[in-house]
Amino acid sequence: MARSINQNAYTGALPSFRNLGILLRILIIANVLAFAVAVAKSSDLGTLWRQTIEISSLVEPMLILSLLALAALNDVLRRAPYWLGAFAVLALELALTTALYFSGRALLWAEPAPLVRYWLLVALATAALLVYFDLRGRALSPALTEARLQALQARIRPHFLFNSLNAVLSLIRQDPRRAETALEDMADLFRTLMADNRELAPLAREVELCRQYLDLEQLRLGERLKVEWRTDRMPRDAVVPPLVLQPLLENAVYHGIEPRVEPGVVSIEIYAAGDEVHAVLRNPYRQGGNHHAGNKMALANIRERLQLHFDAEAALTTKLAGDVFQVHIVVPYVRGRES
């Protein structure tokens, strides 16, 4: 089964020590605590600089080793009961502190403090981080996170519904078979829109829905809408947040194609690069358009959904190059698993 959004919600387990957002928070909090200790031990700026360098010479190697060890043991720690995992993390940090204390004494500027003092500082810092991540996990509890996602999902109301229905009605007499296909595409698309979309979905299915959506738009826009797909390097086994591309294509049609009289091209490129999946969408851009606020709201919606699923490991960036507007999405390359 594909991973759910609950991977980032509170489950009574330790945080994922392989998540970029978690690692960044550990680095920031640990360095802030180290600087606070340096300030507390200093009487002037000169002393503060010396204390900062001395404490950093201990803290930074400790941080690097800790993050490597925690990432390596991540699966074991997260499978254990919370109290046992927390105890294992504390024991690991104290063991690393002891090893660094005896192996790194020669690198210090002065005789180090007693080992017990370092144990106490490390234990307090570790406890503070564990409490912080526990509170953060509770704040992102499944009920709250899922409610937030559903609220964001509810904002995706395809404006093309009535236009598409009118286009289908005009086809019923002229081309009944094509009208039937269009109605089937609409049913598939709206079934997905109304479904429980907490689980990551196959990227191939997301692309299929996008193709169905663009086929519907071409019913009413005709030759004005040109579509270019570049999916030869698309990873077929990847999973992504549902409906992360379709609203962006809806944006591209609404803001880039509808205001034009002449034909315009919407291009979609999807490819894998290392442990990331990239999706690049481009559409024509007309200066002085009046849809800027709606465009920003849709992009903010997608950004927030990506953050709920992947924290800091996903990104959405936009770029305007002349008369072309580009949206670039990067998500971790998560492979789907069989149920």
Strand segments (E) across the chain: 201-202, 225-230, 238-240, 264-273, 276-284, 315-321, 324-332, 334-335
The 3-state secondary structure of 207-229, one letter per residue: HHHHHHHHHHHHHHHHHHEEEEE
Fold for 151-335, please state it: Heat Shock Protein 90 (3.30.565)
Q: 324-332 and 315-321: which strand pairing? A: antiparallel
| Position 21 pLDDT exceeds 90 | no
Q: Is the pTM of this model over 0.75?
A: no
Q: What is the pLDDT of residue 10?
A: 45
Taking CA 142 as the corner, what is the angle to CA 157 and CA 134, rounded to the nearest 5 degrees?
135
Mean pLDDT for 20-47 is: 85
Write down the domain spans for the chain: 5-140, 151-335
Select from 63, 105, 31 the least CA-distant residue to 39: 31
Q: What tokens appear for 146 in the block?
A: 């899922």
Q: Which residue has the higher pLDDT, 295 or 321?
A: 321
pLDDT in tens, 67-113: 999 989 988 888 888 888 889 999 999 998 888 888 766 555 455 67
Q: Which of 290, 286, 271, 285 is nearest to 328 (CA)?
A: 271
Q: Among residues 216, 52, 47, 33, which one has the least CA distance to residue 122?
A: 33
Question: What is the SS3 assignment for 136-188?
Answer: HHHHCCHHHHHHHHHHHHHCCCCCHHHHHHHHHHHHHHHCHHHHHHHHHHHHH
206: tokens are 């997301």
pLDDT tens by residue, 243-292: 888 888 888 888 888 888 899 999 999 999 989 999 999 999 877 655 55
Q: What is the pLDDT of residue 140?
A: 57
Structure tokens at 300: 């903010």
